[in-house]
C-alpha cells in the first residue's frame, strides 16, 4: 500500500507546478511579438499549445493548494468530489495543448476552422472520459497515443537547416510532455520518483525557453 500524502512532497509538487506555469507563460508572451509581426499560423498554434500547457499547470497548482490545505489544516474537502472535476478540466486543457503542438507542426495543411473545432471536440470527449472513469489512466493512454502521433508527424517532415532547429525544439517539448505523463502516473511510481521527473521537466522547460528566445531573435 502506498503511504499517505507527505506535506513536504506536496510542497514540492506545488513549487513545480508554479515554476512550470511561469515558464509556460514566459514562452507564450516571448513569442507574442514574433506572431504579431508575421501572423505565422505555426507560431500561433505553438503559442496556443503553451497557453494550454499553462492552464494545465495552473489547475495542478490550484489542486495542490486545495489538497495541501486538506492535509495540513485538516480541512473537510471531499477528494472523491474534487478529483473527478479536476481530472475533467485537466483532461481538456492538456489534450488541447498536445493537439495545438501537432497543429503547429502541420499548419500548412490546416485551412479553415474545421480541424481546430474537431480538436476541441476530441478534447471534450477526453475530459468526459476522464470524468466518467474517475481515473487519470484513460487520459494518460490517449495522450500517449497523441504523443506518438506528434513524433511521427515531426520526423516525417522534410529535413533542412531551419526545420532541423524547429524539430529539435519540438522534440524537447515532446520530451517534456512525456516526462509530464510519467508525473501524471505517479500513483504507479515508487515514492520520490515523481520528484525526480519534476526536476527533469523543469530543466527541459528552461532549455525550451532558451531555445525559443534564441529562435525568435
Question: What was the pLDDT predicted at 156?
Answer: 74
Closest residue by Cα to residue 211 from 151, 171, 156, 152: 171
Task: Return the SS3 of 216.
Answer: coil
Note the residue count of the chain: 217
Task: Give the whole-angstrom CA distance, residue 20 versus residue 206.
Answer: 9
Domain spanning 7-215 has what CATH number? 1.20.1070.10
For the chain, give the mean pLDDT: 79
Q: Which of the residue ranges 104-118, 147-161, 195-209 would you say has the lowest mean pLDDT? A: 147-161
The rounded Cα 93 to chain-centroid distance in angstroms is: 8
Place of cell 500500500: 1
Q: For residues 125, 128, 132 and 137, what is the CA-based torsion angle, rounded to 10 degrees?
A: 70
Closest CA to 94 of 129, 61, 140: 140
Look at the block and give the residue holding cell 503542438.
Answer: 101
Query: Lowest-pLDDT range, 40-49, 72-81, 85-94, 193-202?
Result: 72-81
Amino acid at each position: 500500500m502506498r503511504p499517505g500524502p507527505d506535506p513536504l512532497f506536496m510542497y514540492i509538487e506545488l513549487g513545480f507546478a508554479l515554476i512550470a506555469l511561469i515558464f509556460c507563460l514566459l514562452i507564450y508572451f516571448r513569442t507574442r511579438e514574433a506572431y504579431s509581426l508575421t501572423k505565422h499560423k505555426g507560431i500561433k498554434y505553438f503559442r496556443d499549445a503553451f497557453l494550454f500547457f499553462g492552464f494545465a499547470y495552473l489547475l495542478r497548482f490550484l489542486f495542490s493548494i486545495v489538497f495541501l490545505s486538506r492535509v495540513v489544516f485538516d480541512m473537510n474537502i471531499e477528494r472523491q468530489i474534487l478529483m473527478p472535476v479536476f481530472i475533467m478540466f485537466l483532461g481538456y486543457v492538456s489534450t488541447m495543448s498536445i493537439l495545438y503542438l501537432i497543429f503547429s507542426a502541420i499548419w500548412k495543411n490546416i485551412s479553415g476552422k474545421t480541424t481546430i473545432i474537431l480538436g476541441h471536440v476530441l478534447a471534450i470527449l477526453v475530459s468526459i472520459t476522464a470524468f466518467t472513469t474517475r481515473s487519470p489512466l484513460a487520459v494518460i493512454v490517449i495522450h500517449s497515443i497523441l504523443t506518438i502521433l506528434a513524433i511521427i508527424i515531426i520526423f516525417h517532415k522534410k529535413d533542412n537547416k531551419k526545420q532541423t532547429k524547429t524539430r529539435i525544439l519540438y522534440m524537447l517539448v515532446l520530451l517534456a510532455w512525456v516526462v509530464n505523463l510519467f508525473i501524471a502516473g505517479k500513483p504507479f511510481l515508487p515514492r520520490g520518483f515523481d520528484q525526480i521527473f519534476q526536476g527533469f521537466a523543469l530543466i527541459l522547460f528552461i532549455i525550451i525557453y532558451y531555445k525559443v528566445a534564441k529562435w525568435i531573435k
